Amino acid sequence: MKFDDGYLKEFGVEYSAVVPFSACGIINERRLGVLKKRLEPKSVIVFLVPYYTGEEKRNISKYAISKDYHLFMRVLFEYICPKLSEKYGADFCGMADSAPINEVKAAAYAGLGVLGDNGMLINEKYGSYVFIGAVYTDAVFEYGEDKTSYCVHCGKCREACPMKDGRDCLSAVTQKKGELSEDEISYILQYGSAWGCDICADVCPYSKKADKTPVKFFYGDRTPYLTRDTLEKMTDDEFAERAYAWRGKAVIERNLKLLQNK
- Residue 67: the pLDDT is 97
What is the value of pTM for the model shown?
A: 0.94
Predicted pLDDT at 262: 67
pLDDT of 168 reads 74
Q: Which string of DSSP letters, residue by residue, matches 178-239? A: SPPPHHHHHHHHHHT-SB---HHHHT-TTGGGPPPP--GGGGSS--SS--HHHHHHS-HHHH
pLDDT at res. 113 = 97
> What pLDDT does 166 receive?
57
Burial of 8 (0-12, 13-18, 19+ CB in 10 A): buried
| Confidence at residue 12, expressed as pLDDT on a 0 to 100 scale | 95
Give me the pLDDT at residue 165, please. 61
> 243, 64 in Cβ contact below 8 A?
yes
Q: Which residues of the chain have pLDDT under 70?
A: 165-167, 262
Number of C-alpha atoms within 13 angstroms, CB side, residue 155?
A: 1
The pLDDT assigned to 98 comes to 80
- Per-residue b or e along 180-211, where b marks 16 or more CB atoms closer than 10 Å to that residue's CB: beeebeebbeeeebbbbbbbbbbbbebbeebe
